[in-house]
Amino acid sequence: MRTDSRLAGSAIPRRNILSESVMGRVKMWHLGLLLAIISAVSLADHLNKPEVLEVRVALPTHQDIESSVSTIGRVVPVGEFQARANFSGMVEKVYVQLGQKVSPGQLLIKMKDPFASSRVAAANAALQSVKVNNENVQRNGSQEDRINFATERTRAQLEQSTATKALSALKQLEQNGSASESEVVAAEQRLQAANANMQALDERTRNRYSAKDVASWKAKVAEAQSSLDAEKVTFANANITSPISGTIYLLPVLQYDFVPMGADLLRVADMTKLEIRANFDEPDVGKLIVGQQVKIKWDGKPDQTWQGHIKHAPMAVVTSGPRSVGECTIEVDDSKGDLPANTNVNVIVTTRRSPHALTIPREALHTEGPASFAYRVVGARLVKTSVEVGVVNLAGVEITKGLTSNDVIALHALNNQELRDSLKIQEVR
């Protein structure tokens, strides 16, 4: 009985413990369900709540705007003189220094050719001799010949006059019977001989030389002139003078240097007259027009800018390595001798320019095919607005139609989210 009483007494508490455990679990399940319902309601409220996006905005402004294309070009002096060795030999004398200003005809360099002067003198003497002979042919003889001809003609005229008078006198005497017929015939023959001699002298004076003789001597003069010209070229090759006024900007040789034929001896140019030869990529060639303004930058003087303009726009496109390019000639407007020749420079051509234009930042412009648009901020929402644009560059866009200076324009969302029409936003300036 004791044992049963103990067992019976201990069974009741066990049932209570089990009941309490089950009830606890039920309560926890209800609590979890309640929390889930609350979370679902909160999420639904959040999803149904309108999105507000922080967007950076800006106002259109009026300013000067321009578009440009750029490339690298090479500085070239205009009308420079390049002296080259026309034969292999030694530099006998250098008469100038680098940077020296020279004038036309000034002797610059002398190559060793000791017989150049004597050859020029001989060729000149030969030409003068041939010219004299040609002149004598043109005048039907030398001055001495012409003097002799004049003397002979005077004698012939006197003989002709005397024979004429004698014949006339004899004819009168013949009528009176004082002269015989034979004497008259002899006088007539004398006059005929005098007339023939006079005619021969006149023909000799006028046409001493034939047309072939005249042409032959003209050819000899041309030949002698060509020989002299050739010798002058040889002399000039050895004694190099400047044909222009300018500055010695390149002088790579020294006295006693031996140079091969064709070697660069020196270069002369007016360093205030420079051009730039620049190759532009094919898509940019069509934008280039004669007269467009050009900015010129050189890495050697990064703080300085030169101004220029397009002198010759590209006339053709050629292949240069992997590129298709057109060569453009740019004239430097303000060179003062401070831009070295043959340097590589950056050229920026202004292709379009609009003064005091209504502009927006480049990032505010959007495109869909050929259409352009921007997002205006109206009542805290974005409104997609079609626009027409003019000049466009990397920084800004000219708006020709669709916006006013009072509009607020969306640039980008702070979280980089894509903008869209009717999106509710909060402005950030």
pLDDT tens-digit map of 336-394: 989 999 999 999 999 999 999 999 999 999 999 999 999 999 999 999 999 999 999 99
In three-state secondary structure terms, 222 is helix
Q: What percent of the chain has pLDDT over 90?
A: 55
What integer pLDDT is reported at residue 396 of this predicted model?
Answer: 95
Least confident of 14-23, 151-160, 259-268: 14-23
What integer pLDDT is reported at residue 40 of this predicted model?
Answer: 57
pLDDT band at 113 (very low <50, low <70, confident <90, very high): confident
Least confident of 122-131, 211-220, 258-267, 358-367: 211-220
What integer pLDDT is reported at residue 313 of this predicted model?
Answer: 95
Residues 429, 423: Cα–Cα separation, whole Å: 18
Residues 174, 187: Cα–Cα separation, whole Å: 12
Query: Strands, E, within 221-300: which ranges?
Result: 239-241, 246-250, 258-259, 264-269, 274-281, 293-298
pLDDT surpasses 70 at 25: no
pLDDT surpasses 90 at 158: no
pLDDT surpasses 50 at 12: no
CA torsion through residues 138, 142, 143, 148, sign: negative
Residues 376, 357: Cα–Cα separation, whole Å: 19
What integer pLDDT is reported at residue 374 of this predicted model?
Answer: 97
Report the 10 Å Cβ neighbour count for 425: 20
* 8 A C-beta contact, residue 415 and residue 90: no
Query: Residues of 93-108 as b/e, b for ≥16 C-beta within 10 angstroms?
Result: ebebeeeeebeeeeeb
What integer pLDDT is reported at residue 176 of this predicted model?
Answer: 81
Which of 199, 213, 202 has the alpha carbon at shortest distance from 138? 213
Question: Model pTM?
Answer: 0.59
Q: Which residues pair with 377 in a beta bridge?
A: 382
* 8 A C-beta contact, residue 242 and residue 103: yes
Q: Please compute the mean of the pLDDT values over residues 25-39 and round it to a whole number.
A: 64
Least confident of 40-49, 128-137, 208-217: 40-49
Residues 2, 5: Cα–Cα separation, whole Å: 5
Most confident of the following: 48-57, 163-172, 239-248: 239-248
Which of 108, 111, 107 has the alpha carbon at shortest distance from 92? 111
- Contacts of 414 by beta carbon, 8 Å cutoff, 6+ apart: 54, 55, 56, 428
Q: What is the mean pLDDT of the chain?
A: 86
What integer pLDDT is reported at residue 61 of this predicted model?
Answer: 96
What integer pLDDT is reported at residue 144 of this predicted model?
Answer: 72
Q: Are strands 274-281 and 301-312 parallel, antiparallel or unpaired?
A: unpaired
Instruction: Pick the more confident residue, 7 or 346.
Output: 346
Q: What percent of the chain has pLDDT over 70?
A: 87
Instruction: Pick the more confident residue, 173 or 68.
Output: 68
Least confident of 85-94, 243-252, 292-301, 372-381: 85-94
Q: Please compute the mean of the pLDDT values over residues 114-130 and round it to a whole number.
A: 83
pLDDT band at 39 (very low <50, low <70, confident <90, very high): low
* 8 A C-beta contact, residue 238 and residue 72: no
Residues 137, 141: Cα–Cα separation, whole Å: 6
Which of 199, 249, 318 has the alpha carbon at shortest distance from 80? 249
Q: Please compute the mean of the pLDDT values over residues 96-102 and round it to a whole number.
A: 96
pLDDT surpasses 60 at 14: no
Measured in whole angstroms, the distance separating CA 114 from the mean position of its chain's CA atoms is 42
Residues 399, 389: Cα–Cα separation, whole Å: 5
